[in-house]
């Protein structure tokens, strides 16, 4: 059995949320979803092959806002399940970009929690109320997992 040395510095967390990316010089714009995220970067699927070290702009919609983050392509590989797609691994360009992604991720998790609690309670739970509950229950654990 062949073992490859792990090169990642950060733990990956599987999470799927909407993502759009742009590559200005290649005039590429594509909508996709994240596959996983870590403190240092994220992985997503693309129809386009991107080269290592290219800089792209990630756009993450959240309700009525769009968070923009610069990222550097670290690796590109054919997807094992769909050979028409590529797995694109990127690292965040700046610490502030990583912080934005962490914020978006937390908000997506809170919204998922809100939908689940609404089903459990049998009535719609507001985002504010869900945020308060989520922070009480999970914020310490979430902080340990990611930072």
- Interval 23-50: pLDDT, tens: 978 889 999 998 988 777 899 999 999 9
Are β-strands 41-46 and 55-62 bridged in parallel, bridged antiparallel, or unpaired? unpaired
Looking at the fold, whether 74 and 135 belong to one and the same domain comes out as no
pTM: 0.72
Q: Which domain holds residue 41?
A: 13-95
Give the whole-angstrom CA distance, residue 145 versus residue 147: 6
Looking at the fold, whether 90 and 38 belong to one and the same domain comes out as yes
Looking at the fold, whether 78 and 34 belong to one and the same domain comes out as yes
Looking at the fold, whether 56 and 120 belong to one and the same domain comes out as no
Looking at the fold, whether 134 and 109 belong to one and the same domain comes out as yes
Query: If residue 85 lies in a helix (H) or strand (E), which one and from where to where?
Result: none
Query: If residue 1 lies in a helix (H) or strand (E), which one and from where to where?
Result: none
């Amino acid at each position: 059995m062949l073992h490859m040395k792990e090169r990642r510095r950060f733990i990956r967390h599987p999470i799927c949320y909407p993502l759009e990316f742009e590559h200005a010089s290649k005039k590429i714009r594509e909508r996709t979803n994240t596959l996983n995220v870590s403190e240092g970067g994220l992985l997503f699927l693309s129809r386009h092959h991107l080269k290592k070290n290219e800089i792209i702009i990630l756009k993450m919609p959240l309700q009525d806002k769009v968070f923009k983050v610069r990222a550097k392509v670290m690796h590109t590989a054919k997807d094992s399940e769909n050979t028409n797609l590529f797995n694109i691994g990127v690292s965040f360009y700046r610490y502030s970009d990583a912080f934005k992604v962490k914020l978006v991720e937390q908000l997506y998790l809170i919204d998922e929690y809100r939908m689940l609690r609404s089903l459990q309670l049998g009535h719609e739970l507001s985002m504010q109320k869900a945020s308060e509950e989520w922070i009480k229950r999970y914020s310490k654990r979430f902080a340990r997992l990611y930072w």
